Amino acid sequence: MTQLTAAGLTLELGPDGPLTQRLATALRDAVRAGSLAPGAALPPSRLLAAELGCSRWVVTEAYGQLVAEGYLQATTGSATTVRDLGGVAPLGPLGPPPSRPRPRYDLTPGFGDVSMFPRTRWLEAYRRAVMDRPTAMLADRSPVGTLSARTVLTDYLLRARQVREDPTQVVITTGAGASVGWISRVLHTLSHRRIGVEDPSWSGLRDTAERAGLEMVPIGVDDQGLRVRELDDHPDVRVVLCTPTHQFPLGVALSPDRRLELIKWADRVDGVIIEDDYDAEFRYDRRPVGSLQGMAPDRVVLVGSVSQSLGPMINVGWAILPQWLIMRILADGLDAGTGPSVFGFEALSIMIAEGWYERHLRALRTSYRRRRENLVSAITAMLPDCTISGMAAGTQLIMELPQGVDVAAVVRRAAGNDVGVAPLDRYRLAADLPSALVIGYGNLREDRENEAIGRLAAAIRGA
């Protein structure tokens, strides 16, 4: 996005596409945002064209398009003016929605590298799922998929995450968010009204629990992970949502003592732990710790998805439920909500069975590890006053800023430098957090780490 002023107009011109379209979009956005007020006269096309350094035709075309859409009005012999929309924003022409380009140096957390998506393998797996599976499957909208696909998944989860289950305990969903929303609805019907959530944590999951009717109760996190004892301050809380293997965003693991404490808490209150197994496959210094579910399959619901490994567009996730919960769901006939395309799940099971999924994970792991090492070296060299924390895992690290630096100003200045980054307090509910940035490297192209940190350092110096 380039901001420029021409003939008295301030416009945000996008980087891609023909200039006529970019100009029309900038003008339309300005009218919608109110920075071009009803009745305002646009500069004569000749003048605007001269200042933009383009042909007059470009400007008359853009004006003409917005007149046709109803944003502007043209009267012969006088200036083109902004129409009074009376609070109604007319629809633009049908076309691709305006996409905000991601920053060139993208340190925003929560994104995996979709440019590494194994297109050929996925296509082959999907082709086989469509060609080889029985015709009856075409009529199926089962939330559990086929037994063979579920068995492949449970074998994989046992191998990779030490998850203890059998295929009857799997429900397939469109992702971790969908799983948490659905489980929260089920728990609501079982009289749960409040849910403990990590503070800080990703709003994407906890909000789905809230939308399902559970009130959120923030529970603090320290260098040992979730502060389990705080749960005792809330006797009416018997469900907790957490990321034991790799806390998002702080990047700590739940310590062995706290793992046991949490399971004991759940036993004592007859509670449920929802384990978000997000990015657990990515640990760089040693094997990831096994899932909490493997230690307490009767107390833990494990949710996972391929959003971080293949991409959120695949829309495949799973929930592994304790037997008693499955029994309740079956007995009460509770609706499992919307599952993903059964073919999508079948294709994933073929990717796993062929070894393609784990090969892809290895490639991602190698690349993410390198990015992390390069980022850590760059930060150590260029920002020696900043402190890095978070395990060598996942796709994000925490960078604490020196005292007195205004985090919001850093984020703003970084954005102006084409660097996307998130402040730690974006993930907070009530906790007191240090002034820090969450630096994601899932979507940062390898070899851009030094430039990204150089630009971020400039934003910090200028803030």
What does the binding site for ligand PLP look like in residue numbers (CB under 6 A)? 110, 175-177, 202, 204-205, 243, 248, 276, 278, 305, 307, 312, 317
E strand or H helix at 300, and its extent? strand 300-305
- Pick 25 or 395: Cβ nearer ligand PLP: 395
- Pick 61 or 199: Cβ nearer ligand PLP: 199
E strand or H helix at 399, and its extent? strand 396-400
For 235, residues 6+ apart whose C-beta sits below 8 A from its C-beta are 269
- Pick 80 or 173: Cβ nearer ligand PLP: 173
- Pick 305 or 443: Cβ nearer ligand PLP: 305
- Could you tell me the smallest distance in angstroms from the CB atom of residue 35 to ligand PLP? 33
How far is Cα 6 from Cα 27, in angstroms, rounded to an integer?
12
Bridge partners of 273?
Answer: 240, 300
- Could you tell me the smallest distance in angstroms from the CB atom of residue 221 to ligand PLP? 13
- Could you tell me the smallest distance in angstroms from the CB atom of residue 132 to ligand PLP? 27
How far is Cα 45 from Cα 74, in angstroms, rounded to an integer?
12
- Could you tell me the smallest distance in angstroms from the CB atom of residue 405 to ligand PLP? 25
Spell out where 60-206 has E strands. Answer: 72-73, 81-82, 105-106, 170-173, 194-199
- Pick 80 or 108: Cβ nearer ligand PLP: 108
Please report, for residues 208, 215, 246, the alpha-carbon distance to residue 221 in angstroms, rounded to integers and kept in the order given.
21, 19, 12
- Could you tell me the smallest distance in angstroms from the CB atom of residue 33 to ligand PLP? 29
- Could you tell me the smallest distance in angstroms from the CB atom of residue 449 to ligand PLP? 21
For residues 280 and 245, the answer to whether their CB atoms sit within 8 Å is: yes
- Pick 176 or 352: Cβ nearer ligand PLP: 176
How far is Cα 110 from Cα 46, in angstroms, rounded to an integer?
46
How far is Cα 368 from Cα 277, in angstroms, rounded to an integer?
18
- Pick 290 or 317: Cβ nearer ligand PLP: 317
For residues 219 and 200, the answer to whether their CB atoms sit within 8 Å is: no
How far is Cα 309 from Cα 394, in angstroms, rounded to an integer?
11
- Mark 136-171 as b/e (b = at least 16 C-beta within 10 Å): eeeeeeebbbbeebbebbbebbbebbebbbebebbb
- Could you tell me the smallest distance in angstroms from the CB atom of residue 242 to ligand PLP? 10
Half-sphere exposure of 301 (CA within 13 A, CB side): 25
- Pick 63 or 282: Cβ nearer ligand PLP: 282
For residues 273 and 299, the answer to whether their CB atoms sit within 8 Å is: yes
- Could you tell me the smallest distance in angstroms from the CB atom of residue 167 to ligand PLP? 21
